[in-house]
Structure 1
Amino acid sequence: RWIDRAGADELHVFAGAGSVDPTLLPDDAENAPQGAIVEVAPARAALMASIAERLAGLGGAGLFLDYGYLQPGIGDTLQALRKHDHEDVLANPGEADLTAHVDFAALAAIVRAHGLDAHLSTQGEFLVEMGLLERAGQLGANANEAAREKIAGEVERLAGPQAMGDLFKVLAVLPAGITVPPFATAD
């Protein structure tokens, strides 16, 4: 898809000619219905390859969190955020943040191709495994009711399935064979 001017001050999206490198597409892309959208991010893939190469060569680990999905998908996740609200991606060019969901499965494949282990989870699973509930309990143990309610609300916002807990995903990158809690084995 391409973006072009429809008039002096109006933008529109249209289908353009061209093709995408088939290796960038999800495995089941050939089964997608006619007109389906598959998002690819070559720059993001190149950046992850560079990071993985550096970690493989020099050692170290990486932890990446963002909103996205754990399995490659078909669909349009391009969105514009402005003043903490969604708006049409073409409504205010240069004034809104454009973003799309991260394909964490694709990033994990790049990491594994460099001989590293990749661990995937939701943010909620990750934070709970890292001790979020225990820490919240410690913080609330001697707090008043209002403070405990605030802590519980923040836990729900960060780890709850209807909030950031399922929307945000985690990719942990470790040297092969290294086990670090909460990642016992590579996914």
Structure 2
Amino acid sequence: AERIARHGGAGLFIDYGHLQHGIGDTLQALRKHDHDNVLANPGEADLTAHVDFAALAAVVRAHGLDVQMTTQGDFLLGLGLLARAGQLGAKADDSVRQAISDAVERLAGPDTMGELFKVLKIQPKVGTS
């Protein structure tokens, strides 16, 4: 945020997280595509943490920058995900169309990555550099 405030530019951050401050576990372990006890299988599970996007947004605002937060689903839909999927599937056979549909649902669906992942966009306020 400090670098962008001084020199211009923008930032785009996408990760697991929360748009509002919350209470609960943020550290988690994933093993064989399922949740696992963080201490149960050292070296065999992937450890990850949910990002507190609200805290990051507060830092960004403190530097006088514009910040926007949304879900990955809304972000991708706003970029034209459905139109692109339609273009890709227009001349495809049924199995390819189904694969594209499944991928769109996984990336943007409300019960999948579309809600689990969040997006933080930062940039100078309009009219500033």
TM-score by length of 1: 0.65
| Between 111-120 and 76-85, the greater mean CA deviation after superposition | 76-85
Q: Considering only aligned residues, what root-mean-square deviation do their CA atoms show, in Å?
A: 1.3
The alignment partner of 1:93 has SS state of coil
Which whole-Å CA distance do the structure 2 matches of 1:101 and 1:170 have between them?
A: 12
- Greater RCO, 1 or 2 (C-alpha within 8 Å, sep 6+): 2
Of 147, 150, 157, 2:96 maps to 147
Which whole-Å CA distance do the structure 1 matches of 2:50 and 2:2 have between them?
A: 24
| Structure with more of its chain in strand, by fraction | 2
Unaligned runs of 5+ in 1: 1-51, 179-187
The alignment partner of 1:173 has SS state of strand
Query: Partner residue of 1:78?
Result: 27
Query: Partner residue of 2:2?
Result: 53
Runs of 4+ displaced beyond 6 Å? none
Query: Partner residue of 1:165?
Result: 114
Fraction of identical pairs, as percent = 71
Unaligned runs of 5+ in 2: none
Aligned ranges for residues 3-14 of structure 1 at < 5 Å? none
Matching residue's letter, 2:51 = V
Which whole-Å CA distance do the structure 1 matches of 2:25 and 2:34 have between them?
A: 18
Q: Tell me how many residue pairs correspond in the alignment.
A: 127
**CA shift for structure 1 position 58:** 1.4
Which whole-Å CA distance do the structure 1 matches of 2:22 and 2:40 have between them?
A: 26
| Residue 130 (str. 1) matches residue 69 (str. 2) | no
TM-score by length of 2: 0.92
